[in-house]
Chains A and B, each alone.
Chain A
Amino acid sequence: MEEVRFLTANFGRYDTSSISSYMNIGGFSALKKAVTMDGEDIAALIAANKVKGRGGAAYDMGRKWSQARAVKGKDKVIICNADEGETTTFKDRELIRQDPFNLIEAMIIAGYVMGATDGYIYMRAEYACFRPLLLSAIRQAERYGFLGTDILGRGFDFHLHLYSGAGAYVCGEGTALIRSIEGKAGRPRMKPPFIKVSGLFARPTCLNNVESLSLVPHLLLDAEKRYAALGTEESRGTKMVSVAGNVNAPGAFEIPFGTPLGDIIARAGGVQGGRRIRVLQLGGASGKVQAGTDEVLDTPYTYEDLAAIGLTVGSGGILVVDERTSLIDFLRMNQEFFSEECCGQCTPCREGNVHIARFLEKLQAGTITEEEIGLMSGIAEVMSRSSLCGLGETAQNTLLSAMRVFPEVFTAGGASHE
């Protein structure tokens, strides 16, 4: 498989504990270039490369930055979402671990573009081991004048803060994450007001994923337009994916968009014991599923091709489950995750998760009726439409897509069919 190093170009090339080492490989030249440009042109550059947010929602990033720029207000905030909580997702972990200074440079550029005065990195507690690395990187950037007041003599002030989560998946949701940084329990709230207008400390806020941000310095320095030449027309460039489950060499790596799913799995060492794939789940616990058929494995990893077979890129996680695990066991394990992580605030998600878990139990026992199967999908639909936040809205993505892909399992006495 073709190896590309665009987003990961700096991996292993500098001492991550030293700013001078980073500068020796050209670190902060993207920022120096950025401050000579108009912020709108930087947003336009991102839009021209058709970059979509890499946290899961795949929102047009250039547009997001443009909108955040347009919001009036002097005390805007940039947040980096490093609360990578989706299962099978650990690509941001590698970006933080192997290229922390690039992330910091990206945050400063984002601050410049949006006209923000403060940046916050919200990192999950499970990654606390990288806290000293990031804190030291921030302190060094301050000493070198890349953070603080009058950055690079451009009269632009920007301060960076590092906050920790404490083990709550729901804090990956924008409003919950904001409450957590405000020093509260991370319960999501109703929107509007949208965070771009009233977010952290009621200030206009722009929230971006680690990978989305990390891409920006590389794009700014991409004079030969190498990025746009990779991938497809609609899904340009490259993507970080993390592959785990029943594969021989699980890991996080960069692929050009358009790489067939089967090749990505082969890069992760192939399926353990050469077994048949029972189910593939893309995008973490809230992701959708497909069977391991040739047609699916030949599908190029792009937004458009995955959508055509009912999948999404989501968080970039790719879970491979082989034939030793039944589909119902898989669904029950996935359901346990949401039953545990639901914050309990809104009725559809709190009650829905309990009932879906019970129906799955009955499905496994072979005691479920046709009527109950209908009820199960009905509850899942209600959850996706009426939950308070993204957690409840996406919690049943896996089940609903499994019902479409494997209808034979969802019949009265389902378990006996497997």
Chain B
Amino acid sequence: MISPNEQPLTAERQAQIDGVLEAHDFDPTQIVGILLEVQDLEPLHYVPRPTAYYIAQKLSMRVTNIYDILCFYDQLSTKPRARYPIQVCGSIACRVNASERLADTLKRLLGIDYGETTYDGRFTLERITCFGACDRAPAVRINGHVYDHLDSEEKIRALLASLD
């Protein structure tokens, strides 16, 4: 069932998804990697329901299995995020290096809390457990890219301004 506020797949998106599926040999075991890539086709970096249904059909998988995966893994989202989801590392190595101050500064500058999106759909703030950049703390990860040593408000402002 596709809810009324969700757009059906465009022909363009469908072709892009087909491309991803083909690159993964239409192999259902590669579903996690497929969903990660498909998610980034969306400007708001999530897997819309029509996309999940379409992939289920193409790979002869059950939709429930696709949603089991979408709900299980932190890096996959069923809800629209933002063009730039900002992931703040919550691990100790980052937190003893002022990642809390980084998070507080981001919250203040953007006017949002964790799990919220700015009014213009540019940023969401997400807290994740560890992305393996402990030697570059405090850091954030945005669309797969790590921005490190964000230890002053100037650097944080410059980063936000550099994202379109």
A is bound by B: yes
Set of chain A residues within 8 Å of B120, measured between Cβ atoms:
none
Ordered nearest first, which 6 A-B pairs have the shortest CB separation? A166-B73, A167-B75, A167-B74, A244-B134, A185-B72, A250-B135
- B36 is an interface residue with CB less than 8 A from chain A: yes
Interface residues of A in 289-327 (CB under 8 A from B): 317, 319, 321-322, 324-325
Set of chain A residues within 8 Å of B36, measured between Cβ atoms:
125, 128, 164, 166
Set of chain A residues within 8 Å of B97, measured between Cβ atoms:
245-246
Which of B's residues lie within 8 Å of A, judged by CB?
28-33, 35-36, 61, 65, 68-69, 71-76, 90-93, 95-97, 128-137, 141, 144-145
- A251 is an interface residue with CB less than 8 A from chain B: yes
- Given the complex of chains A and B, what is the CA–CA distance between A164 and B39 in angstroms? 14
Set of chain B residues within 8 Å of A84, measured between Cβ atoms:
132
- A186 is an interface residue with CB less than 8 A from chain B: yes
Set of chain A residues within 8 Å of B75, measured between Cβ atoms:
125, 166-167
Binary interface encoding of chain A residues 239-263 relative to chain B, with 1 for a CB under 8 A from any of its CBs, else 0: 0001011100011100000000000
- Given the complex of chains A and B, what is the CA–CA distance between A334 and B129 in angstroms? 10
Q: A88-B91, A245-B92 are in contact. Are A166 and B74 (CB under 8 A)?
A: yes
Interface size of A in residues (CB-CB distance below 8 Å):
51
8 Å CB contact of A85 from B35, B71, B76, B130: B130
Are the C-beta atoms of A129 and B29 separated by less than 8 Å? no
Are the C-beta atoms of B93 and A88 separated by less than 8 Å? yes
- Given the complex of chains A and B, what is the CA–CA distance between A333 and B137 in angstroms? 16
- A40 is an interface residue with CB less than 8 A from chain B: no
- A163 is an interface residue with CB less than 8 A from chain B: yes
Q: A166-B75, A167-B73, A185-B68 are in contact. Are A129 and B144 (CB under 8 A)?
A: yes
Are the C-beta atoms of A321 and B96 separated by less than 8 Å? yes
8 Å CB contact of A319 from B30, B65, B69, B92: B92
Are the C-beta atoms of A181 and B129 separated by less than 8 Å? no
- Given the complex of chains A and B, what is the CA–CA distance between A167 and B32 in angstroms? 10
8 Å CB contact of A341 from B68, B76, B129, B134: B129
Binary interface encoding of chain A residues 9-39 relative to chain B, with 1 for a CB under 8 A from any of its CBs, else 0: 0000000000000000000000000000000
- A90 is an interface residue with CB less than 8 A from chain B: yes
